A and B are shown apart, each in its own frame.
Chain A
Amino acid sequence: MKKIISLLSILVTLTFSACDKVKSPYNELEVPPVDTSTSATKVRKVLIEDYTGHRCPNCPRAAEQIKLLKQARPGRVVAIGVHVTNQFAAPGSGIYNIDFRTALGNSLDSTFKVSLLGLPTGMVNRKKVGAVYNIPYTQWGAYLDTFIQKPAEAYIKIENSYEAATRTVTATVTSEFLTSLSGNYKLSVYIIEDSIAHAQKDQLIPSPSNDSDYVHEHVLRGSLNSVFGEQLNNAPVNSTSSFTKTYSKVLSAAWREKKCQIVAFIYDEATKEVIQAEEKEVIE
C-alpha cells in the first residue's frame, strides 16, 4: 500500500508540475515595425470575413479580434463584416431597428454555409478546412500567419474616383500576377462602410446587454461585380499577366461616402481560396 501511495504522489506531483500556469500580462502582442519597403514589394494580404449580427451577444469578440490582428500584422488584413441570419441580424424592436443584411451577404452565407454553426465565425481567405469554410475567430490569427508567410502570387492596385453629384464611385482595379499559375482566377469587388455607430448586443454588458455606443466596422454594403465576381484569365497566367477592370456603383443615400472603401480580391475559381486582397477608400 505504501508503495502505491508513494507512486501516486509522484505521479500527481509530476503531472501538476507539467501544467502551464500563465501569468499576467497575457498579451504577447509584438507589433513589428512597419517596413515601407515591404509594402512596396507586393506582399500577400489576407481577407477575413467576419460573419456577425448586431443582435449576436458574442460577436463583438470577433470584431475585437480583427482589430488586434490588424495591429499585430499591419497592412496585412483586409476585413469584411457580413451581417447574416434572422436570429442575430434581422431588425428588432427599439434600438435594433436597422438591417445590415444584404442580398450579397445572404448569398455568400448560403454558398459557404458559414452561419450554420452559429455566430460569430468567419472565413480566412475562404480557405476550406476539412468539409467547412468556417474558422472560429480565435483561430483567425493562426491562419493569417500561415498565409502571410507565403510570397504573394498576385498584386492588386485599386484607383477610385467619386462623382458627388450622382454619388457614383468608379473603381479601376488592376490585377497583376507575380508568378506562373495554371488555375482560373476571378476578381470580386465589394464595397464596405466603416465607423457606423449603432446598437450591438454584447454579452459582457449586464442584461439586457445593449451597447448603444457600439461602432460597427467594415460592414459589407454590396458588390460592384456580382456575388462571385468576374473571371480574369482563360489561360495559364505568368509574371507578365495583368488585367485591368473598371466598375461603377451608385452609393445608397444611407452610406457615407467618406467612410466607404472598395475591397477587391482574387480567388481560385475551383477552390474558392483567395490569393490576394486589397482595399482603398472611395474618397482619399
Chain B
Amino acid sequence: MIQNSIKAAIFSMCCFFYIHVAAQPNLGEIHGNFQTDVQYYNTDTIIGAPIVPEKVLMNGFANINYTRDNFMCGVRYESYLNALQGFDTRYKGNGFGFRFATFTKDNLTVTAGNFYEQFGSGLILRSFEERTLGIDNALDGLRLKYAPISGIYLKGFIAKQRFFFGQGEGIVRGFDGEININELSEKLAQAKLKVIVGGSFVSKYQQDNDIVYKLPENVGSGGGRLKVSYGKFTINGEYVYKINDPSIFNNFIYKDGNATLLGISYSQKGLGINLGAKRIDNMSFRSDRTATGNNLMINFLPALTKQHSYNLAASIYPYASQPNGEVSFQGDVIYTIKKDTWLGGKYGTTINVNYSEVHDINREVVNDTTSLLEPYTLGYKSDFFKIGNRVFFKDFNIEITRKISKKWKTILFYTNQVYNLDVVQGHPGEPMVYSNIAVADITYKLNASNAIRLEVEGLFTKQDMGDWAALLLEYTYAPHWSVAVLDQYNYGNPESEKQIHYFTGNITYTKNSNRISIGYGRQRAGLLCIGGVCRIVPASNGLTLSVSSSF
C-alpha cells in the first residue's frame, strides 16, 4: 500500500508540475468529486445485527482530475476507516486506489496507470466501478486506442486488476476491433441500414502452483458482435467463447465456456418493444482462479430481467446472474395511450408490461463414472438448444403510469415472481418462493416547490419469510430539501419473533453539487443487486451520514 501511495503521489506531482511549467494562458482545468458515507452502529440483537467494535465506520473517496488539451491525469484517494458493514474488510485504511495519465496524438490514445474498459456488451471484458456493491476491478497497466481511419476503432491493453489496495495475481491481455460501416464514407453515412461489427480477444495468465492438478496458465476467450439497425428495428447479438478455466467458482471443472446475447427492438412514438435472449454456460472469468465474491471479475454477465426500483420488489427477492449457467428470455413492451382520449386521460397513460424467465442450462453427465459438476473433470455436457428443467426466476410485471391532474400523479405496479432461493441465494434445500407484489405510488404536488409522495407496497407469499408490507412517505421542498420515512414490516413471518418493523428516516439537503443526507433506522439483512451482480448486506441499526460534492 505504501508503494502504491508513493506512486500516486509522484503521479500527482507530475500533474501539478505540468501545470506549473505550462503556466501560460491555457492552464488546463481541474475537476473532482467527493463522497463519504459514515455510519454509527447500534446493537440490535432482534434483527441479528453484528456487533461493530469500532461503533463508527466510514467509506470515502475523492477524485481529482486535471485536463489540458489532449492530456489528462488524475488520482482517486480512498479511505476506509474501517469499511462499512457489508463491504469486504480487505478495503482497509487509506490509499490511492486509482491513478492514471492519458493523452491523444494523431488518433492514438495512450493510457498509463489505471483505466476502465469494456469490449462489446461486457460478456468478454468489463472493467468497472460500482461503489454500492464494493466492486472496483480497475485495470492497471498500459492501454492503446487507435482509430486508423474514421469508422475503425482498435483497442489493446496489458494490465493487472485492482484487488483492494493491491493487485490480483493474474495478468490480463485484451484486444478489440470494431468497424462502424456507416462511418467509413459519407455515402454510407446516409444509408438507412446501419451496421456495426466487432471482435475481441481477452486472455489471462496465472501461474499453476497446484501440486495435485494440471491447471491452464493461459486462458483465452474470443468473441464477435454485430448490431444492425434498419428504420425502427434494431437487432444486436454477441457470442463469446472461453477455453478451459477451472476455478473455485465453477468447482474446478475443465469444460470450455460460452455466452450468447441476442436482442431485437422496435421503437416508434408511443411504442417500444424489446425482446431479448441470453445463454450463459460456464462463463465466470476472473484473473485469479481462487477469487471469490465480486473480486477480480474480467467479464460482466448482465441479468436479462427487469431491474426493479420499488422497495420490496428490489430488495427481498432480487435476481442475480448465474455465471455457471443460465438461459433467459425477456419481453418488454411500453405503450403510451394518447392524451385527451377516454383511456389515456388528459395527459396520456403509459403502460409497461414485462416478462422474463430464467432457467438452468441443460446439463448431462460426461460419462457413467463422473457425477455432474464433479471437480477436476469436464463437469458436464450441455446441448446449446435445450433448456434445463430447473427454474431460477420468473417475473411477470405491469406498471401503469398516469398523471391525473396538474397536482396528482399515480403509478400502479404489480409483479408475480417465482424465485429459486436455493440457487440465487445459495440456500440448498429451501423451497421455491412464489410471490405477488402490489405497489401504489401516488404523488401530490402542493405547488411548484412542494410535493408529497406516498408508496404503499405489499408482498404476499406463503414461503420463506411470508408476507411483507412497506410504506414510504416522502416530502420534497424543491430544490433543497427532501424528507422521507420508510417502514418495511415482515408481518407474515411464520416465526412471530421475526415479525419485525424495519423503520428508517432520512433527511437530504442539496445545494448545487453539494448533497448532505442523514438517516436513522434499521437495515434488513439481505442481498443488494445492481445489474444482476449482488453483494450480501448484513443487518444493521444506526445513524448514517452521507456527503457528496463535485467541482
Contact = CB atoms under 8 A, between A and B. Distances in A.
Tell me if chain B binds chain A.
yes
Contact of A19 (B199, B219, B246): B219
B175 A22 contact: no
A207 B422 contact: yes
A57 B175 contact: no
B251 A61 contact: yes
A250 interface: no
Nearest to B376: A26
A11 B148 CA distance: 17
A71 B177 CA distance: 48
A183 interface: no
Interface string B221-264: 01000000000000000000001101010011010000000000
A29 B376 CA distance: 12
A117 B220 CA distance: 29
B148 A22 contact: no
Interface residues on B, range: 35 or more
A19 B218 contact: yes
B201 interface: yes
B175 A208 contact: no
Nearest to B213: A26
A76 to B, nearest CB: 11
B46 interface: no
A113 B53 CA distance: 14
B203 interface: yes
B90 interface: yes
Nearest to B390: A207
Nearest to A208: B429
B507 to A, nearest CB: 33
Given A27-B376, A113-B89, A118-B293, A18 B218 contact: yes
B343 interface: no
A41 B201 CA distance: 52
B399 interface: no
B498 to A, nearest CB: 15
Nearest to B210: A141
A210 B429 contact: yes
A144 B372 contact: no
Interface string B352-384: 000000000000000000011111111000000
Contact of B428 (A22, A57, A130): A57
A15 B201 contact: yes
Give the most central of B90, B210, B374, B375: most A CB within 10 Å. B210
B194 interface: no
Given A4-B152, A20-B217, A131 B429 contact: no
A69 interface: yes
Nearest to B247: A138
Interface string A139-154: 1011011000000000
Interface string B161-200: 0000010000001010100000000000000000000010
Given A15-B220, A21-B244, A26-B376, A141 B212 contact: yes
Given A138-B210, A138-B290, 18 more contacts: A8-B199, A15-B201, A20-B219, A21-B243, A24-B254, A28-B212, A28-B214, A29-B211, A138-B248, A138-B289, A141-B209, A141-B210, A141-B211, A142-B209, A145-B211, A203-B251, A208-B429, A209-B428
Of all A-B residue pairs in the complex, the 9 with the closest CB atoms, nearest first, are A208-B429, A19-B220, A209-B428, A142-B209, A20-B216, A136-B290, A141-B211, A20-B218, A138-B290
Interface of B: 88-90, 92, 148, 152, 166, 173, 175, 177, 199, 201, 203, 209-220, 222, 243-244, 246, 248, 251-252, 254, 289-290, 292-293, 371-378, 422, 426, 428-429
Interface of A: 4, 8, 11-12, 15-16, 18-22, 24, 26-29, 57, 61, 64-65, 68-69, 72-73, 113, 116-118, 130-132, 136, 138-139, 141-142, 144-145, 201, 203-204, 206-210
22 contacts: A8-B177, A12-B201, A15-B220, A16-B201, A18-B203, A18-B220, A19-B219, A22-B215, A22-B244, A24-B378, A29-B211, A61-B252, A61-B375, A64-B375, A118-B292, A130-B166, A132-B90, A142-B209, A142-B211, A204-B373, A206-B372, A208-B429
